[in-house]
Amino acid sequence: MGGVFEPLKGGGAAIALDEIEISILRSLAVQLLELIGPGEPEPDPDADPLAALFASDGPTEPPSDPALARLFPDAYGGPETGPDADAEELRAHSAEFRRFTENDLRTRKREDALAVVRSLDGLSPAGDGAAVLEVGGELRLRWLGALNDLRLTIAARLDITEDDESAVLFRLPDDDPRKPMVMAYLWLGGLQETLVETLSDTL
């Protein structure tokens, strides 16, 4: 399989991973979990779900950490929006939207990263040093979500955007201290792209 996802007959995708690749992916997913933080407590089964929805008390300000700001961006406007009245209104709408949605979004992102960790924990490399991971159904979508979140986080740490991606990533000298993170970023991009392709093959 050559380190990329390939479609499985009947749906799903598979990839061969060696011990080093498993270790890197697991470490990145665990770091993502630590960055996102603890999840929300379990809801009270006797509580009124409609009342709980309107009583939501999530954050209203974007995170100060640039990586978290990439993972939980403003829905409307943003820090770059100017100070005019329309911009203020957009920021107010964004704050209200964040208050009702960010906690759930954090929970989903944690579940995606946890799914990656758990599926990697179940792998046992064979004699040739590789193990085949098969993902299908919801797990495939969880992997897609986690891979995207990992790439956004690394991009924030490298201070790069899609506009300058090619110029920055492909021209770094080997002795640049960012090189290992760049290689991880590119590798994750390949995994994400080939996993998306397996989804399109089933449509």
Task: Encode pLDDT of 146-195 as tens digits.
Answer: 999 999 999 999 887 766 555 666 778 888 888 889 889 989 999 999 99
> pLDDT by residue (tens digit) across 38-53?
855 555 566 666 555 5
Identify the three-state secondary structure at position 133: strand
Spatial contact of 93 and 75, defined as CB atoms under 8 Å apart: yes
With cut-offs at 50, 70 and 90, classify the pLDDT of residue 113: very high
DSSP string, 38-98: --PPPPPTTS-HHHHHHT-----S--SSHHHHHHS--SSS-TTS-SSHHHHHHHHHHHHHH
Spatial contact of 187 and 151, defined as CB atoms under 8 Å apart: no
